[in-house]
Amino acid sequence: MTYLIDAWLDRPQPYLRILNRNTGEVCALLKEDALDELRDQGDLDMRPLTELGARYQSYAVTDLEQRIKRMQDFEVVVTNKVLIDAQVMDACQQLKLILLSATGTNNVDLAAARERGIAVSNCQGYGTPAVAQHTLMLMLVLITRFESYRQAVRDGAWQRSSQFCLLDYPIGELSGRTLGILGYGELGQAVGRLAEAFGMRLVVGALPGREKEGRPGLDQLLEQVDVLSLHCPLTEQTRDLISAPELARMRPGSLLINAGRGGLVNEQALADSLRAGHLGGAACDVLTSEPPRDGNPLLAADIPNLLITPHSAWGSREARQRIVGQLAENLRAFAQGDELRRVN
C-alpha cells in the first residue's frame, strides 16, 4: 500500500495528513503533541519520516478537551504524554494504531486498546547511552561536591583563601565503592559497565516479586552499597520502593540516584533523610509529577546535597534521532501489515 502526505505547515492552523494513495482516504495523523519530546530544535535528520512522505508539525500542548476533536477522523495517532483512554478510543472509531514516541505506556489504556483491536507500539532503547552517562555524571557531581565548590568560587571563597586550593568540602572517589543497581535491563547494564570502568564494584539487587538466585533482596542490598541507582519500571510493586525505612537502612553517607521513574522514591522521605544528614547526597532526574507543581518537597531550597535535573537525561540529539527512526520503522511496518514494537 502506498501513502501520500498532504501538509501545510506555515499557516495559523497547520495540518498534516497521511492519505491512502489509491483511495484518497485520510488514514493517519502525526499530531504536534504526539512528538512533544521531539520538538524540532533544528538538530534532527527527519529523512526517516520524510522518505515515507511524512513531515510533521508539533503542537506544544493538547488539552484533554482537544483529544477527540483532533483524533476522531484518523487511523493512526502518534503521541507521547497525551492520555488516550477507553472513552477517547470509543469516540475515535477510525483509530487502528497508536504510536508512542517514548517507552512508557502509562498514558494509554493498553487493555482497552487490545479489546478494540487497536495496536499500540512504542520506542525502545533509544536513550540508553544518554541516560547511562547522565547517571554517572550525577554520581560524579555528588561525590566530588562539584556544586558546593562551584558555588564557593562564585561566592569568592577561593579568592579569599590563604592556600592555593580550597578543600572545604569532603571529596570522595567512585573507585573502590560498591554500586547497587535495581533494574538490570539494557539501561541498568549500561550503567553497570560505566561504573565498573570507574573501578566500582557492582551488585545487582532483586526487585520485589522478581527474586532471582544470586541477587540480594532489597534490605540486604541497601546494607552493602555505597551508591544505589534505580532503573526499574514503576509498578504497584515498585511504587515508593525507597521510602523512610529503606533510606534508614542505607549506609550513612551513601548516595541515591534515581534516573528511572519518579514514583520509585518517596519524595518527602528523601527530603527528610537529606535534612537529617543520613545520606551523603541524592540526585533525581525524575519526579512524581512532571513538570513539578504545588510545592514538590524535593524543590525546597534548604535540602542539602540534592541534585534535580528536569527529566533531561534521555534528551541527547542522538537519542531523539533514534526516536525519529523508530517512529518511521513502526509506521512503515503498520503500512505493510506487520507489527513492530507492539506493547499490547
Residues 153 and 288 in one domain: yes
Which residue of the set 67, 231, 261, 322 is catalytic?
261
Q: Identify whether 341 is part of a domain.
A: no
Q: Identify whether 263 is part of a domain.
A: yes
Residues 114 and 207 in one domain: no
Q: Identify whether 53 is part of a domain.
A: yes
Contact 18, 3 (CB under 8 A): yes
Q: Identify whether 150 is part of a domain.
A: yes
Residues 118 and 234 in one domain: no
Contact 179, 227 (CB under 8 A): yes
Residue 282 per-residue DSSP state: E
Q: How far is CA 317 from CA 57, 231, 267, in A?
A: 18, 21, 30
Q: Pick the closest to residue 118 from 89, 154, 147, 153 (CA basis).
A: 89
Residues 63 and 163 in one domain: no
> Which residues, given as ranges, of the chain have pLDDT below 50?
33-40, 55, 57
Q: Identify whether 160 is part of a domain.
A: yes
Q: Report the C-alpha gap between 206 and 193 in whole angstroms.
A: 18
Residues 189 and 288 in one domain: yes
Is 311 marked active-site? yes
Q: Helical H runs in the chain?
A: 47-50, 67-71, 86-91, 110-115, 128-143, 146-154, 186-197, 218-222, 244-249, 267-276, 317-335
**Where in 191-236 does DSSP place strands (E)?**
201-204, 227-230
Which residue of the set 51, 173, 186, 290 is catalytic?
290
Residues 220 and 303 in one domain: yes
Is 261 marked active-site? yes
Q: Which amino acid makes up residue 7? A: A
Residue 125 per-residue DSSP state: S
Residue found under cell 551523603: 280
Q: Report the C-alpha gap between 217 and 334 in whole angstroms.
A: 42
Q: List, in sequence order, every residue forming a beta bridge with 201; answer none if it has no partner.
A: 178
Residues 165 and 300 in one domain: yes
Residues 240 and 302 in one domain: yes
Residues 72 and 147 in one domain: no
Here the CATH number for the domain that contains residue 220 is: 3.40.50.720
Q: Report the C-alpha gap between 342 and 306 in whole angstroms.
A: 38
Query: C-alpha grid cell for residue 156?
Result: 569568592
Q: What pTM was computed for the model?
A: 0.81
Q: How far is CA 258 from CA 10, 107, 134, 159, in A?
A: 41, 21, 11, 35
Which residue of the set 251, 275, 278, 311 is catalytic?
311
Q: Which amino acid makes up residue 114? A: R
Q: Pick the closest to residue 182 from 279, 262, 259 (CA basis).
A: 259
Residues 277 and 202 in one domain: yes
Residues 153 and 217 in one domain: yes
Query: C-alpha grid cell for residue 306?
Result: 540534592
pLDDT value of residue 37: 44
pLDDT value of residue 39: 47
The boundaries of the domain holding residue 153 are: 128-308
Query: C-alpha grid cell for residue 247?
Result: 533510606
Query: C-alpha grid cell for residue 252?
Result: 550513612
Contact 220, 203 (CB under 8 A): no
Q: Beta 15-20 vs 26-28: how paired, if at all?
A: antiparallel
Q: Beta 15-20 vs 3-8: how paired, if at all?
A: antiparallel
Q: How far is CA 230 from CA 94, 126, 214, 320, in A?
A: 40, 18, 19, 22
Q: Which amino acid makes up residue 229? A: S
Domain count, the chain: 2
